[in-house]
Chains A and B, each alone.
Chain A
Amino acid sequence: MSAPASHDTYVMEHDHRKLGIWIFLASEVMFFGAVIATFVVFRGRSTSGPDPREVLTLLVPTIMTLVLLTSSVTMVMALQAIQGGNRTRMWQYLVATCILGLVFLGLKATEYTHLFSDGITPSANIFGSVYFLTTGLHAAHVIVGIIWILAVVAKALRGGFSAENYLPVEMAGLYWHFVDLIWVAIFMVVYLTDQLKFM
């Protein structure tokens, strides 16, 4: 498993950057672990303020999940496109991914507005604190992801990638899918396990 291609030659045959991204993602799992643990530990421990079950509903988060899953599809289609040499299709799919990401964030914004008007804020009670922490940190990661993908698009538009050279697209994709994975966990922990009303 060492670097050289054959016994006595010293040739870097793989690009290191992908290993670096995976290591980074493994570390990020621990970060969200701490955040999700914080959420779970405080379930039902608010001493005042509105009960989340009175205010949260499942419809919008479900749509958000479907949107983000679709954006992962468009992301991997973008990678498949450039692996086949089709730069145009690639950046079109990347732009689609960004748009879906923005839709996700827009839906989150409507959810937040609804919660504020019902009295759930980060400083209302512990539920408000953990809810906005968990979903907010995730949203911040989505924003970073969108900016990252746009940077890749910018480079593509300047003629950047090809069927032999697409690693940055793949790396952006890995990060984006990871953000989707974390949402799978958040959707389950924050919304599905709390017996919320559907709408």
Chain B
Amino acid sequence: MTTQVATLPAKPREYTGVMSWLTTVDHKRIGLMYAIASMFFLLVGGLEAEIIRTQLAQANLKIVNPDLYNQIFTMHGTTMIFLAVMPFMAGLGNYFVPLLVGARDMAYPRLNALGLWLFVLAGIFLNSSFFLGGAPAAGWFGYAPLTSMQYSNTNGVDFWIWGLELLGVSSITASINFVVTIIWMRAPGLRFNRLPIFVWTNLTTSFLILFAMPSIAAALILLFLDRHFGTFFFDSSGGGDPLLWQHLFWFFGHPEVYIMILPAMGIISEILPVFSKKPLFGYTAVAYSSVAIGFIGFTVWAHHMFAVGMPPAIDAAFSLASMIIAVPTAIKIFNWIATLWGGSINLKTPLLFAIGFISLFIIGGLSGIFLATVPIDFQVEDTYFVVGHLHYVLFGGSVFGIVAGIYYWFPKITGRMMNEKWGVVHFILQFVGMNLAFFPMHIVGILGMPRRIYTYGANLGWDTINLIETIGAYTIGIGILIFLYNLIQSWRSGAVAGNDPWDGDTLEWATSSPPPAHNFEKIPVVTGRRPMWDVKHGGQKMDYAVEPHGFHMPPPSIWPLILSFGLMILMFGMIFGVIPLVIGLVIFVAGLAGWINQPAI
């Protein structure tokens, strides 16, 4: 935002009620909506998980039919990754990055709203497939030729293609916003080496999204052309190559998992210092390691493809890179542990989940080293060993991180405290359930149980293990329900939180809970890594910046929602034909025209 003269501009249109939420460009409201929508999709994905686990609890069950089962596990993966974890990170980032850098909003407020609505509508679009001919059923990574028209002749894969394209646009716009905000909207004195680690990880994640998503965007276009226009990109009968899909997909897919874990690592890096009452140990190492993980993450993608027949030299190169990435990861873990060591530990729920994160992520990282070792990978590739690994890092890692962040920042967002006792119960259920559900997967994977199977024979000896895993999954489910209950109850009638219930270090605790629309009455001048700590316990006086031209908050806008809606209808048109295509295009153009004609802040 550029500065404005001190006289007020013409009064912008004001909305109330639901309309105020649909037209908001306030990063906090947008962040909150991201989080609530993600929570909804987490529950959808969780329900899908429970169905999967019920079907697999014993041999030869027929809880759902095989075709529906394929749709469910495909949508479980797709939903959890694209509709739950990623948007949750975007939401928390949206809410807190401007506060943490001392800004009043993100750099592009309307583009911010666009990202939100594209996500929400894409989620609806994707899930509508269940009712419109069948959800995608080719696995969350959609390998060719399974996704070809020959083997997937419902609309499901087409829903997957266009849903993901919409989500890609959403992520890319959000990333542009984060990068510009972090680079150009920091408070005075907030040098890069004083940035909160959560901001560092958001910056790195944004670059990952910007450079990785285009690969899958291209691949999805190729897939659509193969399916509907007779092209041969993944079809060897005309000279194409199914492996091209795998390479383009995983070139995106591997950075994608770092996109999901880095913000969680950032959250943990914020929580540990506050609840140990010590600065983060090895701040510089942690910051650089985050960037290193991002960078190296682009060089390892073919470790998802060791068994496809690449020459050993190439397998070895990717194996080496995959092991190297363990180094910056381990650096972060040691620094986290060192942060706790000798600290004055305040064992509240955010810290419980943070410690849970560290322990579970270590286990997931270790099984990752196993998988990076080519001969071992040959044995366990596409078995439940991999499913165990990925759930340790994605559930034990990303989801524990997200939950920790919610418990930590709930008071700031709502002005109320969550119930600590229910928090501990939730933690115990989620931690125990997680290990019950996912640890045995390593064993049953080594015993030979493949991924994505609908059922298994009774003579294989996998029954007991699967039953334990299912009990674990249900335990997690109960934990999540308790979490939901806690969230709703606390929001309604939790204890009042005040500005700074945790004795926090960083700038978000300098303002009220929840913050006013303009975030800070006056922008603080930052002189260290823990500005609030220095003021409260370090005898420092908080200095404030002069804003010679005052400030002016961006007015609300309906156009991002309309534009997104038009794009969604357009995507229906890509599947169902000319009429929705044209209607969608008209609405899209109308939204674009309205947006352009609205004064730029």
Contacts and interface: CB of A to CB of B under 8 A. Distances in A.
B543 interface: yes
B214 A3 contact: no
Interface stretch (B82-90, B261-269, B377-385, B546-554): B546-554
A106 interface: no
B546 A8 contact: yes
Interface stretch (A50-58, A67-75, A123-131, A176-184): A123-131
Nearest to B251: A34
A17 B596 CA distance: 14
A64 to B, nearest CB: 23
Contacts of B192: 1
A46 to B, nearest CB: 5
A23 to B, nearest CB: 5
Contacts of A15: 2
Contacts, number: 144
A143 interface: no
A116 interface: no
Interface stretch (B64-72, B134-142, B228-236, B303-311): B228-236
B185 A27 contact: no
A122 B225 contact: yes
B231 A10 contact: no
A9 B213 contact: no
Contacts of A31: 214-215, 217-218
A195 interface: no
Interface string A1-24: 111100111111011110110011
Interface in A132-177: 133, 137, 151
Contacts of B217: 31
Interface residues of A, number: 45
Interface stretch (A37-45, A80-88, A95-103, A107-115): A37-45
A11 B566 CA distance: 37
A23 B214 contact: no
Contacts of B185: 3, 12, 16
Contacts of A137: 221
Interface string B206-220: 000011111101110
A9 B547 contact: yes
Given A35-B218, A133-B222, A126 B238 contact: yes
16 contacts: A2-B186, A3-B186, A4-B187, A11-B548, A23-B179, A26-B211, A30-B215, A31-B218, A34-B214, A34-B251, A41-B241, A48-B238, A123-B231, A129-B233, A133-B231, A133-B233
Interface of A: 1-4, 7-12, 14-17, 19-20, 23-24, 26-28, 30-31, 33-35, 38, 41-42, 45-49, 122-123, 125-130, 133, 137, 151
Interface of B: 1-3, 107-108, 111, 172, 175-177, 179-180, 183-192, 210-215, 217-219, 221-222, 225, 229-233, 237-241, 244, 248, 251, 523, 525, 543, 545-549, 596, 600
